[in-house]
Amino acid sequence: MKKVLTFGELLIRLQTSTPAFVRQEGMTDNISAFAGGSEANVSVALGHLNIPNAYFTAIPQNAIAKEIVAVLEGNNVDTSKIKWSGDRIGMYILLSANGLTSGDVVYDRKYSSFSQLKADDIDWDFLFEDCSWFHWTAITPALSEDMAQFMKAALAEADKRGLTISVDLNYRSKLWQYGKSPLEVMPELVQYCDVVMGNIWAENKMLGTTIDDTLDRNTTKEVYFEASKNTAAEIFAKFPKCKHVSNTFRFMDNAKHNLFYGVYHTPEGNYASETFETFNVVDRIGSGDAFMAGLICGIYKNYQPQEVIDTATQTGFQKLFVQGDFTNMNL
């Protein structure tokens, strides 16, 4: 079976479990480190779903990078396509215990090995060898205009080879800082995609679909389902290559119960998962990536549409109970 290739920056996540990031006198140890990055998270989840996969990024030749690669390989990820270059691994600092509180995120990604890549650095034939699927996220073109052009080159090469192409419309407002809005960049890239995953708010910001500003946590699932159907219809009309749209609905905070469900649309039908609820989230980070992996799994294996969205939602929900970016759950 040919592989799903995921494409994006490997990151180190530093996390604090206390209000202060810098240790002060009398404090216990409060910093944890995890490997992560959206695309790596998807590959790890695919590994646990027994989907053959490979991961591409660029990282320096150092002990930390090698340790992370060993972790990826231990999670059934093919790392042979990784480019060993540059001087540093990107990082983000999460100032909360589980991604649910109002804690800030601080990015430290400039001049990373991945961010310095150019299209001429890549052997495209080797990269896509033995692959039938190419997965990317909106995080890469958010990094810089050069990265947006690099992403366009990669998509054109994948499209030329006939790969199925999927995108997760991860919206990170702090990363779009180089003078262009997502709406000026993303539609040109999404035109290559067969599968679009995100949520109705990200699709509005990145693809210009309509949104009802009155929708909130208290809006019923039925109303959200109709809103998602309307958004999907707009995406199908704007991007003729796209044949699959899926959206997550995750309403989470520490004060209330947490809700998680997903919807899935094709030109032929619309489907919703059951709603999962929990009061005990361990770590929200990576749950959308696990959902993406479940979605890829269902489409890759030609599941029936209802089973596609059920698999995606179950995989995403299970990640809420695993600390760190990577999942360790099997369906």
Q: What pLDDT, in 10s, does the model give residues 52-76?
A: 999 999 999 999 999 999 999 999 9
Cα–Cα distance for residue pair 290/315, rounded to 1 Å: 6
**Average pLDDT in the chain:** 93
pLDDT band at 105 (very low <50, low <70, confident <90, very high): confident
Report the range out of 172-176, 217-221, 231-235 with the highest average pLDDT.
231-235
* pLDDT tens-digit map of 264-296: 999 999 999 999 999 888 899 999 999 999 999
Higher pLDDT, 102 or 66: 66
Tokens of 328: 């360790």
DSSP 130: T
Measured CA distances, 274 to 249, 258, 314 (Å): 11, 14, 9
* pLDDT tens-digit map of 304-329: 999 999 999 999 999 999 999 999 87
pLDDT recorded at residue 110: 94
- What average pLDDT score do residues 223-251 get? 98
The answer, yes or no, to whether residue 262 has pLDDT greater than 90, is yes
* pLDDT tens-digit map of 3-33: 999 999 999 999 877 666 676 665 566 788 9
Cα–Cα distance for residue pair 301/162, rounded to 1 Å: 18
End-to-end C-alpha distance for the chain, whole angstroms: 20
Phi and psi, residue 164, nearest 5° = -70, 135
Residues 6+ apart with CB under 8 A from 297: 46, 49, 51, 303, 311, 312, 315
pLDDT recorded at residue 320: 95
Cα–Cα distance for residue pair 224/165, rounded to 1 Å: 26
Percent residues over pLDDT 70 in the chain: 92
* pLDDT tens-digit map of 184-230: 999 999 999 999 999 999 999 999 999 999 999 889 999 999 999 99
Residue length, the chain?
A: 331
pLDDT band at 246 (very low <50, low <70, confident <90, very high): very high
The answer, yes or no, to whether residue 255 has pLDDT greater than 70, is no
